[in-house]
């Protein structure tokens, strides 16, 4: 899909729940001090990039992405539009629980899957749900865009843009504190 305008993707910084091993999904948590550092680093990276004219700026409305956007984009004078389609995957009854407790209840299920597969196989939204939601956002873009969102949501978005199946999506990474650029059908990671 090399004809798509460039996309610049920021995963939110580490949250207090990431650090504690809690399932977030669509529940709210704050950035940790490390997460604030991640967001500031993303702002420094953005300042070095030659961003295209007419860049649309979009953000999930969830607290951790709003906090990331404020730190990463604020110094550059960039204001995002908030879009519910960029929220993280909904994880149903798992949300707010600790991964360790869930693993203790069903060790085989949790130990055999990556974080991405756990989320896609969990009790909430499915891969098809996520592809439809994130795909609708992509279909509405009419130029280059900067997007602040979440680990699973951005992985599904990158999978759609790059034409990847789940196995391919698992190799994309979900780092915090970096910028993923999608251009000409390839992913570039800016650190």
Active site (catalytic) residues: 12, 88
**Residue 72, both tokens:** 């990463």
At residue 15's C-alpha, the angle toward residues 9 and 21, to 5°, is 115
Other beta carbons less than 10 A from residue 101's beta carbon: 12
Cα–Cα distance for residue pair 36/57, rounded to 1 Å:
20
Closest alpha carbon to 125 in 156, 84, 90: 90
For residue 56, the surrounding DSSP H or E stretch is strand 56-59
**Residue 126, both tokens:** 């499915």
* CA distances (Å), origin 73, targets 66, 69, 160: 10, 5, 25
Give the relative orientation of helices 127-140 and 151-162 as an angle to the nearest 10 degrees: 70
């Amino acid at each position: 899909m090399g004809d798509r305008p460039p996309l610049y993707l920021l995963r939110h910084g580490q949250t207090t729940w990431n650090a504690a091993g809690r399932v977030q999904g669509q529940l709210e948590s704050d950035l940790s001090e490390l997460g604030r550092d991640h967001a500031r680093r993303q702002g420094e990276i953005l300042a070095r990039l030659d961003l295209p004219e007419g860049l649309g700026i979009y953000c999930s409305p969830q607290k951790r992405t709003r906090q990331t956007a404020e730190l990463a984009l604020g110094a550059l004078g960039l204001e995002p539009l908030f879009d519910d389609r960029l929220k993280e995957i909904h994880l149903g009854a798992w949300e707010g629980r600790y991964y360790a407790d869930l693993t203790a209840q069903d060790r085989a299920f949790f130990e055999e899957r990556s974080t991405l597969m756990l989320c896609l196989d969990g009790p909430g939204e499915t891969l098809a749900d996520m592809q439809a939601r994130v795909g609708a956002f992509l279909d509405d873009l009419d130029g280059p865009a900067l997007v602040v969102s979440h680990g699973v949501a951005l992985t599904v978005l990158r999978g759609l843009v790059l034409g990847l199946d789940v196995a391919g999506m698992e190799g994309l990474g979900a780092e915090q504190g970096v910028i993923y650029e999608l251009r000409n059908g390839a992913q570039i990671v800016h650190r």
